[in-house]
Amino acid sequence: MSPWTPNSRGLSPQYGVKLKVCQQELALLLAESRALFFEEGLTLKDGRPSPYFVNFGLFRTGRLISELGRIMSDFLVDTATVADFDVLVGPSYKGSALAVSCAEALWRIHKVDKGFDYDRKEIKSHGEGSRKGALFVTGALFDGARVLIIDDVATTMGTKFDILGQLTSEANKNGHSYYPAGVALYLDREQTTAVYDVDNQPLTAIKGQDAVKNFKIKTGLEVQTILGIGETVDYLYREKIPVSQNGQMIPLTEAAVAKFKQYVDIYGV
């Protein structure tokens, strides 16, 4: 049996569940880098309050981003996903670094050579983009390419819908066909989407839709996630790992975990 299985969504928080080695490593990296932090007064992009935030932009050293690449490359190999795609595509900006580090680790560790690409925020109209305009950077995409989208966190899945649209646009412009092979993510926030009132203000204490489930239904694509936030917080709490809390690196307090569990009860899938 493979040592890896994708995170089982909808069952977390799975308190007390033993994590696999690479899941533990990812949880420890999230804590060490301060990419996972707890703070008073945090607000998500959708306008809702949150007791914690996850920012993969804080994996900002060679060692940290290399470790992220290794973990995802192991995941793709051990789940046999590596056989299902030709090109890794990471949505800009954070997904760009993740695609590069994963492709590098696939070659360095597993001797599997895969292409990687990422989108531009503005279409390039000079150089190689002079005639058609280049929406993607490296040119790794080719006619018939099977594309695996790689990104940091599952929240609303809006970025994943956007990159699929960009891939379709690029394929149509070049007379190509690209075949989405699925989505591979590092962390699932395991929460529902926001619900808004008539003035487009987020309503608190109301569950929205399961964004990942909706993405699967609408696209027909599989979404694999290495780690869920519930099991991440549980592991860090049980192991007394220092985590950034209001600017201090200390083991998770009972108060912080209680607020997290309350948040999950309100907004979780």
State residue 22's pLDDT score.
87
State residue 121's pLDDT score.
74
Domain presence at residue 202: yes
State residue 4's pLDDT score.
33
State residue 126's pLDDT score.
42
Catalytic site residue 261?
A: no
State residue 46's pLDDT score.
86
Contact 29, 54 (CB under 8 A): no
Domain that holds residue 103: 21-267
State residue 18's pLDDT score.
80
Catalytic site residue 126?
A: yes
Domain presence at residue 26: yes
CATH code for position 200: 3.40.50.2020
SS3 content of the chain, % helix, strand, coil (to 5): 40, 25, 35
Q: 170, 165, 152: which is closest to 225 by C-alpha?
A: 152
Catalytic residue among 124, 176, 207, 213: 124
State residue 240's pLDDT score.
97
State residue 110's pLDDT score.
98
Domain presence at residue 5: no
Long-range contacts of 253-262 (CB under 8 A, 24+ apart): 256/38, 256/51, 257/233, 259/38, 259/51, 260/38, 260/51, 260/52, 260/233, 261/13
Contact 68, 54 (CB under 8 A): no
State residue 123's pLDDT score.
59
User: Domain total for the chain?
Assistant: 1
Count of other CB atoms within 10 angstroms of residue 244: 21
State residue 155's pLDDT score.
86
Domain presence at residue 15: no
pTM of the model: 0.89
Domain presence at residue 2: no
Domain presence at residue 78: yes
Domain presence at residue 136: yes
State residue 6's pLDDT score.
41
Q: Which tens digits make up the pLDDT trace of 180-211?
A: 999 999 999 999 998 999 999 999 888 899 99
- Walking along the chain (269 residues) 10 residues at a time, the average pLDDT comes out as 39 61 95 97 89 96 97 96 98 96 98 96 51 79 98 92 95 95 97 92 90 95 96 96 97 95 93
Contact 100, 92 (CB under 8 A): no
Catalytic residue among 18, 111, 121, 126: 126
Instruction: Give the Cα separation of 66 and 56 in Å (integer).
Output: 13
Name the helix (H) or strand (E) containing 227: strand 223-228
